[in-house]
A and B are shown apart, each in its own frame.
Chain A
Amino acid sequence: MEFLTDILLLSDSTLRIAAPLILAALAGLCAERAGIVDIGLEGKMLAAAFGAASAASITGSPWAGLVSGILVSVLLALLHGYVSISQRGNQIVSGMAINIMVAGLAPTLANAWFSRGGQTPLLPNEARFTEITLPFADLVADVPLLGAVYSDLLSGHSLLTYAAFAAVPLVAWMLYKTRFGLRLRAVGENPEAVDTAGISVTLLRYQAMIIAGVLCGVSGSALSTALGAGFIRDMSAGKGFLALAAMIFGKWKPVPTLLACLLFAFVDALQGRLQGVSLPLIGEIPVQFTIMLPYVLTVIILAGFVGKMEAPKASGIPYEKDR
């Protein structure tokens, strides 16, 4: 029974940790499917986390936080779009520039606005997206297994976590079932074909960046207003890059990307549980080593032990009309 509880707890934290990763990975997926490599997910997440925490702290409303988180992220996505699409600049450099800029700007502004050494004040529960108890969760809690799964695992997450999981079918539907999705996938493979079909490559790519911005904005807001209770320096901690790795591992497809995110989240949850635990034969693993786990896993996955990864053909290449 204790084992079952352990599994449930582990799965529960996996879902929670996975939420921002999934949203960010989907953001990267939308951008890259449209032909724009977005190394700046990390920065957008961090900026959104800061924007959301600041607005929530000032207004006391998590919704105001979410809106401003999304807004900040979309603005940065448009900046990246401007560099990549209109200026035809180097997309990797632009993404890194945004990451670094945000890493400095968020604490600078936090310090200027809240004078708390680069953090926002701790958010009270009213200003956060708190855990939602799903209908009948209490009622069925006693039903063996299924009840526990429903009430402990599925119920009791924040709205944004549910939103993250809902975003997967939504993005998949958008990509594969709508005209817009068809065009978006086409522009990442062969922008010239899109251009000669009379569709604006520029507009399409900007639209993709806006979607990426919104998704990343929700992701960052989840960090500071749902998972955490306020903004702290460097709170994205490489999640943007993990999300990118998950997207590659998921071969630029929504559902496999979701699974990759769950894997990363599981490892992260596991490392949390392993801290201070003494394992048979190995003994206690130093916390610094458990922290490394997700990063090491990323490297192993990217080492290509999972088959060939083929990116959309035009991703990372600025579109020039006259070649």
Chain B
Amino acid sequence: MSAPTKMPGAVEAVLMPFLNILVALLVSGFVVWSLGEDPFFALSLLIEGAFGYEEAIGYTFYYATNFIFTGLAVSVAFHAGHFNIGGEGQAMLGGLGLTLAVFWLGNTAPLLSVLIAILGAAVFGAGWALIPAWLQAYRGSHIVITTIMFNFIASALLAYLLVGPLQRPGGQMPESSDFPDGVGLMQFHEVLAAFGVNFEQSPLNVSFLIALLAALAVWFMLTRTRFGYEMRVAGKNVHAAAYAGVSVPRVTVIALMMSGALAGMMGLNELLGEQLRLIGNFTLGYGFVGIAVAFMGRNHPLGIVLAAILFGVLYQGGAELAFEMPNITRDLIVVIQGLVILFAGAMPHLLRRPVAGLFARLRVKGAA
């Protein structure tokens, strides 16, 4: 059973994940159908909603930006052998760090404020990962459970701050005052307008580029640096790591803080790129989507970027879909997410046998 059935590398890297996602989408289509809607029409609405017009494309990549950050966060932890489910809480704290930096520095030097705000997001995100990371590394506490708990704690903390000290004076909603004028990330349509290109307004902003840079940095870290090497060794075999003189607890803590920093930077896109204020629960489950994105992208940064864009399509297209079809809500996207994690993450070998069999047969035919 365990003997791996050999297949061409491209099949392994591209076709298998694609097939797994196809199965997830098939099941999702079945859910749509059972809700009394036409899955094919739903699919066309979804694609139209994601790519049909400039604003839609902008939104698609806007959502994708969140997913690149959270997907990278999950994958960095995974390479170090850990499952960080705390992306949600780390993103909230990242948002908090960013907000505090912005209010602290004001808009006397907007560029500096933005830079420090980015740093604040990363540092707070990393900080929120530190305790679960330390507990995992030095006390062996189950990081899956501790990070989940830290999500709840972060949510309550943010709720407290946003109806307390950080609430907009005189406001009723759980949200902060607006960021000072001029402190924020440029949106794409503004950037393009500067070059004389007309693009419909959308929340897509510079943080998309920051996300791509982060993906590049993660790839470089994993494959080109000594730390990345030691982290992967520790993630795959703690005994070999100790043998090689790698301090596993230290690597664990650093990797999980990197993971937390990446999750924390999700706030750049949502808060500094669009909302321009801190709002309660702005993370909307994007931290969890990161799990699906990471698995779909096979924990490779390029794969994660592609998977994030696919999820961007699902989110933006799904929003349109929910608008057009009365029986479908945005919750459906969460279902699809779960199915993708199930098929691409937990059962990567579901279709292995039949596909390998097919290839074996093709090869025999080719040889004959």
- Does chain A bind chain B? yes
Question: CB within 8 Å of B: which residues of A?
Answer: 39, 83, 87-94, 96-105, 107-109, 111-112, 118, 238, 241, 244-245, 248, 286, 288-289, 291-292, 295-296, 298-299, 302-304, 309, 320-323
- Contacting residues, chain A, for B349 (C-beta < 8 A): 87-89
CA distance A303 to B146 in the complex (A): 9
Contact of B35 among A88, A96, A112, A309 (CB under 8 A): A112
Most buried by B among A96, A102, A291: A96
- Contacting residues, chain B, for A105 (C-beta < 8 A): 31, 331, 334-335, 338
Which candidate, B92-100, B150-158, B255-263, is the interface stretch facing chain A?
B150-158
Q: Which 6 A-B pairs have the closest CB atoms?
A: A101-B338, A104-B334, A288-B160, A97-B342, A94-B346, A104-B335
CA distance A258 to B267 in the complex (A): 41
Check B145–A108 contact: CB distance below 8 A: no
- Contacting residues, chain A, for B111 (C-beta < 8 A): none
* Per-residue interface assignment for chain B, residues 131 to 168, with 1 indicating a CB less than 8 Å from any chain A CB and 0 otherwise: 11001000111101110111011001101100110000
Min Cβ gap A290→B in Å is 9
Contact of B164 among A286, A302, A322 (CB under 8 A): A286
Residue of B nearest to A82 (CB): B347
- Contacting residues, chain A, for B337 (C-beta < 8 A): 100-101, 104
* Per-residue interface assignment for chain B, residues 269 to 305, with 1 indicating a CB less than 8 Å from any chain A CB and 0 otherwise: 0000000000000000000100110010000000000
Check B142–A248 contact: CB distance below 8 A: yes
Contact of B345 among A39, A90, A288, A295 (CB under 8 A): A90
CA distance A292 to B144 in the complex (A): 18
Contact of B145 among A118, A298, A321 (CB under 8 A): A298
> 17 A-B Cβ contacts within 8 A?
A89-B346, A94-B346, A96-B341, A97-B345, A100-B341, A103-B331, A103-B338, A104-B332, A104-B338, A111-B331, A112-B35, A112-B327, A241-B145, A248-B142, A286-B164, A291-B156, A322-B3
- Contacting residues, chain A, for B347 (C-beta < 8 A): 83, 87, 89, 94
Contact of B346 among A93, A112, A248 (CB under 8 A): A93
Check B339–A101 contact: CB distance below 8 A: yes
CA distance A277 to B83 in the complex (A): 39
CA distance A49 to B157 in the complex (A): 28
Contact of B338 among A39, A97, A298 (CB under 8 A): A97
Contact of B141 among A90, A101, A304 (CB under 8 A): A304
Check B153–A296 contact: CB distance below 8 A: yes
CA distance A90 to B348 in the complex (A): 9
- Contacting residues, chain A, for B346 (C-beta < 8 A): 83, 87, 89-91, 93-94, 97
Q: Which residues from 68 to 107 on chain B have a C-beta closer than 8 Å to any C-beta of chain A?
A: 83, 85
Check A292–B339 contact: CB distance below 8 A: no
- Contacting residues, chain B, for A298 (C-beta < 8 A): 145-146, 149
Min Cβ gap B181→A in Å is 31
Q: Given that A111-B331, A118-B331, A241-B148 are known contacts, is A288 also in contact with B142, CB under 8 Å in the complex?
A: no
Check B329–A108 contact: CB distance below 8 A: yes
Check B160–A320 contact: CB distance below 8 A: no
Most buried by B among A97, A112, A292, A322: A97
Q: Given that A94-B342, A97-B341, A112-B327 are known contacts, is A302 also in contact with B146, CB under 8 Å in the complex?
A: yes
Q: Is the interface of A mostly helix, strand, loop or mixed?
A: helix
Min Cβ gap A195→B in Å is 13
- Contacting residues, chain A, for B328 (C-beta < 8 A): 108
Check A245–B145 contact: CB distance below 8 A: yes
Contact of A299 among B149, B159, B327 (CB under 8 A): B149
Most buried by A among B132, B163, B295, B346: B346
Check A104–B333 contact: CB distance below 8 A: yes
Check B160–A286 contact: CB distance below 8 A: yes
CA distance A83 to B295 in the complex (A): 15
Check B85–A96 contact: CB distance below 8 A: yes
- Contacting residues, chain B, for A288 (C-beta < 8 A): 156-157, 159-160, 163
Min Cβ gap A280→B in Å is 22
CA distance A296 to B131 in the complex (A): 12
Most buried by A among B1, B135, B156: B156
Min Cβ gap B288→A in Å is 6
Q: Which residues from 297 to 330 on chain B have a C-beta closer than 8 Å to any C-beta of chain A?
A: 327-329
Residue of B nearest to A296 (CB): B153
Q: Given that A292-B157, A302-B135, A304-B141 are known contacts, is A97 also in contact with B339, CB under 8 Å in the complex?
A: yes
CA distance A104 to B135 in the complex (A): 31
Residue of A nearest to B160 (CB): A288
Contact of A111 among B146, B156, B164, B327 (CB under 8 A): B327
CA distance A293 to B359 in the complex (A): 56
Min Cβ gap A221→B in Å is 22
Residue of A nearest to B162 (CB): A288
Check A303–B139 contact: CB distance below 8 A: yes
Min Cβ gap A263→B in Å is 15
Check B160–A108 contact: CB distance below 8 A: no
Q: Does B36 contact A (CB under 8 A)?
A: yes
Check B135–A93 contact: CB distance below 8 A: no
Min Cβ gap B42→A in Å is 13
CA distance A101 to B36 in the complex (A): 19
CA distance A1 to B146 in the complex (A): 40
- Contacting residues, chain A, for B193 (C-beta < 8 A): none
